[in-house]
Amino acid sequence: MSDLNTIFDLAIIGAGINGAGIARDASGRGLSVAVLDGGDIGGATSSASTKLIHGGLRYLEYYAFGLVRKALAEREVLLDIAPHITWPQPFVLPHAPGMRPEWLLRLGTLLYDNLARRQVMPGSERIDLRRERAGRALSSEYRNAFRYWDGWVDDARLVVENLKDARARGALVLPRTPVTRAERVDGLWQLTLGEGRTLRARRLINAAGPWAEDVARRVMGLNDAPPLRLVQGSHIVTRRVHLGRDAFMLQQPDGRIIFIIPYERDYSLIGTTEGDVQRPEDAKVSDAEVSYLLAAANRYLARPLSHDDVVHRFVGVRPLILETGKGDKETTRDYRLVDHAGLDAMTVVGGKITTYRVLAEDVLARIAPRSKGWTGSAPLPGGAIDRHRGEHGQTAFKRWLEQLQRREANYDPKLIKRLAMTIGAPTEGLLAGGLGRNLGGVFEAELDYFRDQEWATSGADVLWRRTKLGLHLDAAAQGEVARWFGEDAAAATEIPAGHRFARPGIA
Ligand SMILES: Cc1cc2nc3c(=O)[nH]c(=O)nc-3n(C[C@H](O)[C@H](O)[C@H](O)COP(=O)(O)OP(=O)(O)OC[C@H]3O[C@@H](n4cnc5c(N)ncnc54)[C@H](O)[C@@H]3O)c2cc1C
C-alpha cells in the first residue's frame, strides 16, 4: 500500500459511490490511487438514496431513453457482482383514477422490459389487486395495477465494497480527511489535508457530489465547474405497511411519484420529496416533508400511517446539472464529466448509484485510454463466492448461503443470513473465528471487523452505514456500540442519524 510520500497517479476528492467506483476501477488497471473524504466513506448522498438500482420508469416521460437504457442494463451487472447486498425488487404500480391513464402505464412498463437485456429480472405484468397479497395493504378502491421489477441495493455498503476492493488493489483510502486546498506545484497536484499534511498526484478527480462545484471553485481555484442545482430529497422509515415483497410506486396528484419499499424486514421506507437548497449542509428533513410523505402514502393505504409510526428519517442532496428553463423532474439525472483543460483534472457531477460503475469506466476511458474495463464481471469482495460456470451471482449467493447455514449449524440461521447480507463472503471467516460477546444484537467480532476492515470509527458509522442496526437495537445496545468505539454512550442516541445532511469537515 502507498503512503503519503508517494506521488500518486490519481487523487480523488470524495469517497461517495462515484469516487469509490473510480478508485476501484483505476486501481485494478494498475494506477496508484489515493481517495480522500472529509467525513465517513459514503457518509453523504451515497447513504441517503432510495437505494434502487433502477432505470427510472418515470424518466421515460421525459424521453430520457439513453439514460434509462444505460441504467437498466446496469441492473443485471450490479445484481451479479454484488449479490449479497442487492436483489430484484418487485414494484406494484396501482392505476388511480384521474392520474396517468392505464394504457400509458402499460406502454411504459413494456418499454421498460424491452429497452435492455434481462437475465434475472422478470418482466412486467398487469395484476388484479383483489387477488394479490400486495392489494390488501391498499385501500379497496384500487383494483388494477402493474407489477414491474427493478433492483434494490444497500447504497452505503456498495461504497464500502468498492473501497475494500480498491484497497486490496493498492489504493490508499483516507476517510475523515478533508482536502482544504488543491494547487498545481511543479506540474503536479498538491493537496493540503487537515493537520498540515500534503499529498501529491499527477491527476486529480473532484468527485465531491453536491460539494463538487464548491470544491472546484474554492478548493481547486477553478471557475469552469458546471453550475449545480442542489435538490434535497427526504425519506421516512415507518412501521411496516407491506404484506409481502412488493414495493409500491404511487402516483400523486401533483404529478410526482413516491415509493413505499419494504425495508429492513420490520419497516417500510417512504420517499422522496424534492426541494431546492442553497448549500448541502442546509438540508434537513422538515416536518412539512414528513406530513407530505405520510399524506402521499395514506392516499393509497388501507390502514393509514400517522406521525407516531415514523421511526427514522434521513435526507440526501442531489447535485443536478443546472439546465435553464427545466423543472426538477425534467432536469437530467445523468452524469457529466468536466475536463479542466490542460490541468490533468476532472470534475464528476450528477449521476445515480445505479450508473456509478459506468461512470467510472467513462472516466478511465479518458484518463487511461489504453487500459481495459474489467469491473463489470469481477465480483466485489463480499460477492466473491464460488460460482458454477456461467452462474449468475444471485443464484450462486442463495446456494452459498444455504450451504453456510447448514455447515454452521451452531449459529442461528437468521444471524448467518444477516451477516451474509451485510459483508458477504467474509462471513465464513468471521463465523469460523467466533463472534465473541453479544452486545445486545451485535457481536464484538462484527465491530472488530467494521473497525479493522471497513474504516469504522464511531457508533454512527456502524449503526447507520456499515449496517442499519440503528433501527433494530435498543438504546442500551446502541450505547454499548458507542462505548466500544470509546464514545460516550449518549453519543449513540444523540447521533444525527441522517436527520441533517453530514458536513464533510471543511470550512
Ligand atoms: C433523495 C435521493 C434519492 C436517490 N435515490 C437514488 C436511487 O434510488 N437510485 C440511484 O441510482 N440513485 C439515487 N440517487 C442518486 C445517488 O444517490 C447519487 O447520484 C450518488 O449517491 C452520488 O454520489 P457521489 O459520490 O457523487 O456523491 P456523495 O455520496 O455525496 O459523495 C461526495 C463525497 O465528497 C466528500 N467531500 C466533499 N467535499 C470534500 C472535501 N473538500 N474533501 C474531502 N471530501 C469531500 C463528501 O464528504 C462526500 O462523502 C438519489 C439521490 C438522492 C439525493
Judge whether residue 505 has pLDDT over 70.
no
pLDDT tier at 330 (50, 70, 90 boundaries)? low
Instruction: Establish whether residue 241 lines the binding site of ligand 1, counting it when its CB lies within 6 angstroms of any ligand atom.
Output: no
pLDDT confidence of residue 498: 47
Q: Quick one: pLDDT band at residue 502, thresholds 50, 70, 90? A: low
360 lines ligand 1 (CB under 6 A): no
pLDDT of 67: 77
The predicted structure's pLDDT at residue 500: 52
Is residue 276 exposed (0-12), middle (13-18) or buried (19+ Cβ within 10 Å)? exposed
Summarize the chain as % helix, strand, coil (round to 5): 35, 25, 40
Is the pLDDT reported for residue 333 higher than 80? Answer: no
Task: Annotate 165-181 with DSSP letters as a single string.
Answer: HHHHTT-EEESS--EEE
Residue 46 beta carbon below 6 angstroms from any ligand 1 atom: yes
pLDDT (average), residues 41-52: 96
d(CA 413, CA 428): 13
pLDDT class of 70 with cuts at 50, 70, 90: confident
User: What's the per-residue H, E or C state across 249-270?
Assistant: EEECCCCCEEEEEEECCCEEEE
| pLDDT above 50 (res 225) | yes
Give pLDDT tens digits for 117-164. Answer: 788 889 999 999 999 999 999 999 999 999 999 999 999 999 999 999
**Which atom of ligand 1 approaches the CA of 52 most closely?**
8
Among residues 406, 3, 437, which one has the least CA distance to residue 199? Answer: 3
- Ligand 1 centroid to residue 316 C-alpha, Å: 8
In angstroms, rounded to a whole number, what is the distance separating the alpha carbons of residues 372 and 44? 30
In sequence order, the 6+-apart residues with CB closer than 8 A to the CB of 436 are 443, 444, 445, 448
pLDDT at 335 over 60: yes
C-alpha of residue 365 to centroid of ligand 1, in Å: 22
Q: Measured in angstroms, how far is the CA atom of residue 463 from the centroid of ligand 1?
A: 19
**Residue 209 alpha carbon to ligand 1 centre in Å:** 5
- Residue 196: which pLDDT band, with cuts at 50, 70 and 90? confident
Q: What is the mean pLDDT of residues 187-192?
A: 98
**pLDDT over 90 (residue 113):** no
The whole-number pLDDT of residue 115 equals 81
Task: Give the integer Cα–Cα distance in Å for 453 and 462.
Answer: 12
pLDDT value at 496 more than 70: no
Whole-number Å distance, alpha carbon 48 to ligand 1 midpoint, is 8
Rounded CA-CA distance 103/105 in Å is 5
Atom of ligand 1 nearest to the CA of 177: 43
pLDDT value of position 97: 80
CA of 205 to the centre of ligand 1 (A): 15
Does residue 242 or residue 392 have the better pLDDT?
Answer: 392
pLDDT, average across residues 45-49: 96
- Residues contacting 481, CB < 8 A, separation 6+: 439, 442, 447, 459, 462, 463, 469, 473, 492
| Residue 46 CA to ligand 1 centre (angstroms) | 4
Average pLDDT over residues 223-230: 89
Residue in 242, 258, 239, 259 with CA at minimum distance from that of residue 310: 239
353 CB near ligand 1 (under 6 Å)? yes
Give the mean pLDDT of 375-396.
96
Report the nearest atom of ligand 1 relative to the CA of 350: 19
pTM (predicted TM-score)? 0.96
Nearest to 311 by CA among 248, 236, 247: 236
The per-residue pLDDT for 400 is 98
In angstroms, the first-to-last Cα distance of the chain is 30
Report the separation in Å between the CA atom of 181 and the middle of ligand 1, taken as the mean of its atom positions.
Answer: 21
**What are the structural domains, with CATH classification, of the chain?**
7-46+156-227+332-367 (3.50.50.60), 87-152+229-321 (3.30.9.10), 386-423+426-494 (no CATH)
Question: Which ligand 1 atom sits closest to the C-alpha of 504?
Answer: 47
Among 76-90, 152-166, 318-332, 398-412, which is the least confidently predicted range? Answer: 318-332
Q: Render pLDDT for 151-180 as a digit per residue (tens, 0 to 9).
A: 999 999 999 999 999 999 999 999 999 999
Mutate to test the pocket of ligand 1, among 352, 499, 501 (most ligand atoms within 8 A of CB): 352
pLDDT computed for residue 403 by the predictor: 98
Is the pLDDT at 503 greater than 90? The verdict is no
When pLDDT is averaged across residues 61-80 and rounded to a whole number, the result is 84
All cell numbers assigned to 193: 489535508
pLDDT over threshold 80, residue 332: no
Q: Is 351 in the pocket of ligand 1 (CB under 6 A)?
A: yes
Atom 44 of ligand 1: nearest residue by CA position: 37
Higher local confidence (pLDDT), 75 or 108:
75
- Asked if pLDDT for residue 38 goes beyond 50, the answer is yes
Spatial separation of the C-alpha atoms in residues 281 and 86, rounded to whole Å: 29
Contact partners, residue 493, CB within 8 Å, separation at least 6: 475, 478, 479
Distance 498 CA to ligand 1 centre (A): 13
Q: Could you tell me the three cell numbers for 172?
A: 490508499
Q: Which atom of ligand 1 is nearest to the CA of 231?
A: 53
* CA 430 / ligand 1 centre spacing (Å): 30
User: Which residue's C-alpha comes closest to atom 1 of ligand 1?
Assistant: 233
Q: Are 75 and 54 in contact (CB under 8 A)?
A: yes
| pLDDT for res 369 | 97
Q: If you measure from the C-alpha of residue 6 to the centroid of ligand 1, how many angstroms do you get, rounded to a whole number?
A: 28
Structure confidence at residue 112 as a pLDDT band (50, 70, 90) = confident
Is the Cβ atom of 10 under 6 angstroms away from ligand 1? Answer: no
Q: What is the model's pLDDT at position 501?
A: 57
Question: What distance in Å separates the CA atoms of residue 317 and residue 351, rounded to the nearest whole number?
Answer: 12
Q: Is the CB of 94 under 6 A from ligand 1?
A: no
Residue 316 CA: nearest ligand 1 atom is: 53
Confidence band of 329 (pLDDT split at 50, 70, 90): low
DSSP 8-class letter at 443: B
Is any ligand 1 atom within 6 A of the Cβ of residue 504? yes
Q: Are 454 and 411 in contact (CB under 8 A)?
A: no
**352 Cβ inside 6 Å of ligand 1:** yes
Q: Give the sign of the dihedral formed by CA 15, CA 18, CA 20, CA 23.
A: negative
User: Residue 325: what pLDDT?
Assistant: 67
**What would the pLDDT profile of 278-298 be if each residue is shown by its tens digit?**
999 999 999 999 999 999 999
In percent, the amount of the chain with pLDDT more than 90 equals: 79
Taking CA atoms only, the protein residue closest to ligand 1 atom 33 is: 14
Q: What is the mean pLDDT of the chain?
A: 92
Digit-coded pLDDT (tens) for 252-281: 999 899 999 999 999 999 999 999 999 999
